[in-house]
Structure 1
């Protein structure tokens, strides 16, 4: 799996971008980044919904086991803080466009976790 941090960049009026990590991201890091970004997108972006089944598939691909739950929780909390800071810095419109570009139907990071306008099951 390609690191979400390396692919995901949100550019807007401020020209903000997600910094590339110093070392390759782990599957847990990738999942935490995707989950945090998409869940916050559902909350912040009008008409955007998370396709829970797609997010679950991503979690299964990350092979999260019971012993990793505490580490994953911390990664999710930490990444959510970073995502909210990006959202505030770039602005909702630009940030939402970036999130949809990365995780929407034509996603450059993971396709189909976010959907717009269609009923989600």
Structure 2
């Protein structure tokens, strides 16, 4: 992933975080992504979840190389950048709402279960050196 891509991704997630603070959390858990979701949707979910986990969960870090591998597997091309940016904003809003609804401890545990060393969605995108508090 190019440096500018990482920077625009971080900016998109930061702006989405500010917008999420103004939107109330949904009453019920958002449905899990459908099995038929596109590779672009799956990457947006993984990127938003892991980057927000790094921000919200103590001791958790995104392994950028693993996230880049997911992006390459999704085959994101230059023509999809605008669509990806919009999907990232939308997904980041949903992830932040879920974080607020579940609480940090529960949400962080779920994020690590999905993207941590033994991840059920993608292994090793998140690493932790300290227990979640």
Tell me if both proteins adopt one fold, taking TM over 0.5 as the criterion: yes
State the Cα deviation string for residues 5-28 of structure 1 (Å, max 9, x = none): xxxxxxxxxxx6440446710000
Q: Give the corresponding residue for 1:13.
A: none
Q: Give the corresponding residue for 2:127.
A: 115
Q: Give the corresponding residue for 2:111.
A: 99
Q: Give the corresponding residue for 1:66.
A: 78
Tell me if 1:38 matches 2:45: no
Give TM-score, length-normalised by structure 2: 0.74
State the Cα deviation string for residues 53-83 of structure 1 (Å, max 9, x = none): 0000000000000000000000000000000
Give TM-score, length-normalised by structure 1: 0.81
3-state SS of paired residue (1:101): helix
Unaligned runs of 5+ in 2: 1-27
Compute the RMSD of aligned alpha carbons.
1.6
Cα distance in 2 for residues equivalent to 1:60 and 1:22: 21
Unaligned runs of 5+ in 1: 1-15
Q: 1:67 to 1:96 in 2, by over 3 A?
A: same
Q: Give the corresponding residue for 1:24.
A: 36
Q: 1:104 to 1:22 in 2, by over 3 A?
A: closer
Cα distance in 1 for residues equivalent to 2:64 and 2:113: 18
Q: Give the corresponding residue for 2:22.
A: none
* Higher relative helix content: 2
Cα distance in 2 for residues equivalent to 1:107 and 1:72: 23
Q: Give the corresponding residue for 1:75.
A: 87
Q: 1:43 to 1:27 in 2, by over 3 A?
A: same
Matched positions, count: 103
3-state SS of paired residue (1:87): helix
